[in-house]
Chain A
Amino acid sequence: MENRQKENRIITDGLSYRYPEAERDAVSDVALRVRAGEFVCILGHNGSGKSTLAKLFNALYVPTEGTVWVCGMDTKDDELVFDIRQNAGMVFQNPDNQIVATVVEEDVAFGLENNGVPPQEIRVRIDEALAAVGMSERAKKAPHMLSGGQKQRVAIAGVLAMRPSVIILDESTAMLDPSGRAEVMNTVRRLNREEGISIVLITHFMTEAAQADMIYVMDGGKIAMTGTPREVFSQIGRVRALGLDVPPMTALAETLGKAGLPVRPDVLTVEEMVEEVCRLQSKG
């Protein structure tokens, strides 16, 4: 168990959750894991249970059945709640509704203040966190003067200052414009690569999902598909049947394939498509 915990940030086993007075489970018998340093993406149409799952990772909800371990801590254990929340930080969808303070740096300090971190230490950590998301210059600004992408970066900094093992982004890019989305995705990818923080990204954007190490597709509270982006998206028919889409280049690969051109079905990006076309050419 000790070893499993070291390499896994989140493990769920037979995880189910039913909202009070609901008729069926919002999350049903889910088993998944998020390894140290792994970038996991959870896809699924609205109402498929993604957001409920995210809230189970952070002990905001406690499983009706089954278990969630965050860094080896069972989220059902009341005494560990704050340790779990410190380890599994969450960034939510609406940038306006998760910033508490009237000054950027104070918002970043919020979680640390809650955990009773000494003021000198808070200072050091918020400076680090703001630098890591590229918002140092705006430390004294009022949140409502920032763009959506900047607000989400502040929210990420607030989580980062807690020194988490895993950051869960619950549709955090959904309300942003393309440049805001790019800001957030670049920040998240860098934290993942350079700081080794595990990422759980919940999104509707397939191009974002394509950047993950592992994708879980949810449907009706259950995990319907699992695999690397290539494995998942190359099954275009199934993905679409689950109310989702595939990256444009994967769709194009399908078109070419149907027309008789032997293109790999798991092309994800423009670069790969170019390579693929050139490869075919040099072969033919």
Chain B
Amino acid sequence: MLNDITLGQYYPGNSPVHRMDPRCKLLLTVAYIVGVFLIGNLPGYLLALAFLWLVVRVSGIRFSYLLRGLKPLRFILVFTFILNVAFTQGQTVLFAVGFFRLTREALENAIYFSLRLVFLVMGTSVLTLTTSPVQLTDALEHLMHPLARFGFPAHELAMMMTIALRFIPTLLEEADKIQKAQMARGADFESGNLMARARAMIPLLVPLFVSSFRRANDLAMAMEARCYRGGEHRTRLRELRYTRLDFYALLCMIAFFVLIIAEGMLLG
């Protein structure tokens, strides 16, 4: 189940999409999502799909891999769909049973909303699949940097993200070890009602918290010993640079916008 989630995973590669500047990728992803929300008819979504397919093609990721990432979302999708069908007011009744009336407007709304969600997830997945968490953090730090002037903790946030990314595997491993150690003492994490199960988590969570605090303490000490003093005057090993690739990508995105706007005006 956990393996199905493609959102947030990195799929290493060396495609032009991988090589793009992460800032550019991040901004273009945002643009794409805005674009998708502007679309109001099915041909428009076909365009969005075509565009996405093209990007995925260039990135070397299998499209089926991306689709697999939607699987864990199926409940949310169904839920969104039903909610929209049920709560959209409409005139053109297609179908009626008792209280329930299925209108054309509701159906359209439901379909569009679900499609937007699908494109939102797939679009961000393309970003995270082709951009390592490190690059993503860098991009965020750089993009947020101008805000630092107004007291926004851009560097601190990026540092926190980096440290979180660094320690997630360590803590997962540790959680597994502690869980096994408690099971060796007869702890039962699997049976009982909800309350009993929640209570059974205490022997796992307390040690995990204790060790996280110790790790945080150690890490703070180690960072200090290595001359850490916040974001000021700090240089970076990797500097981000926009290249021609990013320019081409920008052109593609502009073309996409032109197409969906033109299509929207033509077909209403």
Contacts and interface: CB of A to CB of B under 8 A. Distances in A.
In the complex, is A directly touching B at CB under 8 Å?
yes
Interface of A: 55, 58, 60, 82, 85-86, 89-90, 92, 94, 96-103, 105-106, 109-119, 122-123, 126, 142-144, 158-159, 162
Contact of B226 (A97, A102, A106, A114): A114
Contact of B225 (A90, A102, A113): A90
Contacts of A58: 225
A113 B235 contact: yes
A143 B166 contact: yes
B218 interface: yes
A102 B215 CA distance: 16
Given A119-B235, A122-B237, A110 B226 contact: yes
Residue of B134, B225, B235 with most partner-chain A CB within 10 A:
B225
B135 to A, nearest CB: 10
Contacts of A113: 234-237
23 contacts: A58-B225, A82-B227, A82-B229, A89-B225, A92-B218, A92-B222, A92-B225, A94-B215, A97-B215, A97-B219, A99-B166, A102-B133, A102-B134, A102-B162, A106-B238, A110-B228, A112-B235, A113-B237, A114-B227, A119-B238, A119-B239, A123-B237, A144-B173
Contacts of B229: 82, 114
Interface string B149-168: 00000000000001101100
A42 to B, nearest CB: 17
Nearest to B164: A102
Interface of B: 133-134, 162-163, 165-166, 169-170, 173, 214-215, 218-219, 221-229, 233-239
Given A118-B235, A119-B237, A60 B224 contact: yes
B17 to A, nearest CB: 19
B205 to A, nearest CB: 19
A109 B237 contact: yes
Contacts of A158: 226
**Chain B contact surface mostly:** helix
Contacts of A96: 170, 215
A89 B239 CA distance: 26
Contacts of A98: 218-219, 222
Contacts of B238: 106, 119
Nearest to B228: A114
B227 A85 contact: yes
Contacts of B165: 102
Nearest to B234: A113
Contact of A144 (B169, B224, B236): B169
**Chain A contact surface mostly:** helix
Contacts of A102: 133-134, 162, 165-166
A274 B226 CA distance: 44
Contacts of B218: 92, 94, 97-98
Report, nearest first, the 7 A-B pairs whose CB atoms are least far apart.
A97-B218, A98-B222, A109-B237, A111-B226, A114-B227, A144-B169, A90-B225
Contacts of B214: 97
Contacts of A106: 134, 237-238
Contacts of B236: 113, 119
Contacts of A60: 221, 224-225
A116 B234 contact: yes
A60 B225 CA distance: 7
A86 B237 contact: no
A100 B225 contact: no
Residue of B170, B222, B234 with most partner-chain A CB within 10 A:
B222
Contact of A92 (B134, B163, B221, B228): B221
Nearest to A85: B227
Residue of B166, B170, B173, B223 with most partner-chain A CB within 10 A:
B166
Nearest to A110: B226
A123 B234 CA distance: 15
A96 B217 CA distance: 12
B170 A100 contact: no
B28 to A, nearest CB: 24
A100 B163 contact: yes
Contact of B233 (A90, A92, A116, A119): A116
A97 B235 CA distance: 23
A255 to B, nearest CB: 40
A115 B239 contact: no
A50 to B, nearest CB: 15
Contacts of A90: 222, 225
A248 to B, nearest CB: 32
Contacts of A97: 214-215, 218-219, 222
